[in-house]
Amino acid sequence: MIRLRAPILLGIGIILLVGCARANHYLIHPRQAAPEVIVWSADFARDELKVHIEGARPPGVGPFPTVLVFPEEEAGASDMHGVIWDLAARGYVAIAADYQRRIEGKYRPNMFAWRSASDLTLIIDATRAYPEADQNRIGALGFSEGAVVSLLMAAHDPDRIKAVVAYYPITDFPHWYAGERSGLFSRALFALARWQLRVESGASSDSDFQTMLRLASPLYMAEFVHASVLFVHGAQDTLLPVEESERMAERLKGSGDTTELLIVPGGERLFNFRQPQQATHAWQATLAWLDRYLHPTPRAGG
């Protein structure tokens, strides 16, 4: 088990949506659960962290392969309803999660909610409360910040996370933070994201901040990831460049891990919640990857 120094920047919340079109989380996903799909919500807590989950699963006792779903920054578990309903109708237990940290006696949303390995794996442990969830077939699906969490989780609990689909993650925070952007809007948005990241870190010095960035970077923990990983990245994402996925994919391939990178032509920021054609292409690849490595139970008559 990899041990983390606390506090560690694991919950990477950045204002990435300022000035962008609003994401439509139902763009290609159902707006209501299929009649046979069973839904629920719950809360789990450990130490100073509380996780809220929204769940959906097929009928029957299972056990079914399980996908943990992590939203992008500024989104919560309820925003993932369409995604988890879609997965449940295809034979998965799907559990979306968001987090709050106890601050001054109250649980509050916080950019740095995850501050230990125990915090990071709380949601995996919570799946044991559901006998329908197959503990030998757990995968993670994350978008942006959620993709970072998915990759870190796979590194911290490599025995339980079997497959990951990571949409447009930052994998090397020091490299990303030191980068430059072209175009007035891209530069302004990037400057805002960097500023907020630095302020919210609470680091006492630039040296401490760089250490936090490195510890939060999946790239530097690639050797611990044993899951099969699919990276999905929009070719036109100017805030989180494709290079972020390319570099980690190469690192994982160098270790002999099963890794692929899907670069979606024309895909912009949060393309899978904004651009139907690109979203459909990426979702088909996502389902194929999860089916390949988690092997869902075929539905009767399907």
Distance of CA 293 to CAs 60, 167, 177, Å?
Answer: 22, 17, 33
Separation of first and last alpha carbons in the chain:
40
Burial of 263 (0-12, 13-18, 19+ CB in 10 A): middle
Residues 6+ apart with CB under 8 A from 110: 11, 13, 99, 100, 101, 103
Alpha helices in the chain (DSSP H): 81-89, 117-120, 122-126, 145-156, 173-177, 184-201, 206-215, 243-254, 276-294
**SS3 of residue 99 by DSSP:** strand
pLDDT at 213: 80
Contact 152, 215 (CB under 8 A): no
Q: Is there a contact between 233 and 263 (Cβ–Cβ < 8 Å)?
A: yes
What is the predicted pLDDT for the residue at 3? 40
Integer Cα distance of 147 and 54 in angstroms: 18
pLDDT of residue 8: 38
- Token pair, residue 48, equals 């100073």
Both tokens of 207, joined, read 């040296």
- Running DSSP on this structure, what letter comes out for residue 221? G
Please report the pLDDT score of residue 73 as a whole number: 84
Which position has the token pair 């490599």? 158
- The H or E element containing residue 121 is none
Question: Rounded distance, CA 10 to CA 112, Å?
Answer: 6
Do residues 189 and 239 touch, judged by C-beta distance below 8 A?
Answer: yes
- The answer, yes or no, to whether the previous bond of 63 is cis (omega within 30 of 0) is yes
Confidence at residue 225, expressed as pLDDT on a 0 to 100 scale: 95
Q: Give the pTM.
A: 0.87
- The label of the residue with tokens 């690109």 reads 278
Can you give the pLDDT at residue 190?
75
Q: Residue 205: enclosing H or E segment and its boundaries?
A: none
Which residues have CB under 8 Å from 157's CB, separation 6+? 120, 121, 124
Tell me which residue of 243, 241, 231 sits closest to 183, measured CA to CA: 241
d(CA 295, CA 64): 9
Looking at residue 48, its pLDDT comes to 82
C-alpha dihedral, 106 to 111 to 115 to 120, nearest 10°: 100
Per-residue model confidence as pLDDT tens for the chain (302 residues) = 344 433 333 444 444 433 345 899 999 999 999 999 999 999 998 888 888 999 999 999 989 999 999 999 889 999 999 999 999 999 999 999 998 777 778 887 666 566 677 878 889 999 999 999 999 999 999 999 899 999 999 999 999 999 999 999 999 988 887 877 767 767 777 778 777 767 666 667 888 878 778 888 899 999 999 999 999 999 999 888 999 999 999 999 987 779 999 999 999 999 999 999 999 999 999 999 999 999 865 554 44
